[in-house]
Amino acid sequence: MTGDLICLDFDPAPGGAVGQMIVFWHVHSERKVLAPNFRTWLADFATDLEQGKYVVDSDRLQKKD
């Protein structure tokens, strides 16, 4: 498998939670937890959109620094 993904983790490592949202980078073994579940991740994303924390740059949605 190749690619960089945001995933729902249904088989977490020890200490993780089933259904947590993680970042999967194909070149790194570390998996960063983005949110404890999809509902929380989606709510946080919607809040960030409402607060103008994203811009469209070259036809891509990117979070401002």
Domain boundaries defined on the chain: 5-53
pLDDT for the residue 1: 53
Task: Quick: pLDDT tens for 8-57.
Answer: 999 999 999 999 999 988 888 888 999 999 999 999 999 999 999 988 88
Residue 26 and residue 1: Cα distance in Å, rounded?
A: 8
Supply the pLDDT for residue 57.
83
Q: What is the pLDDT of residue 41?
A: 95
Residue 4 pLDDT exceeds 90: no
Which contacts of 28-36 are long-range, i.e. CB under 8 A and separated by 24 or more positions? Answer: 34/6
The pLDDT score that the predictor gives to residue 2 is 65
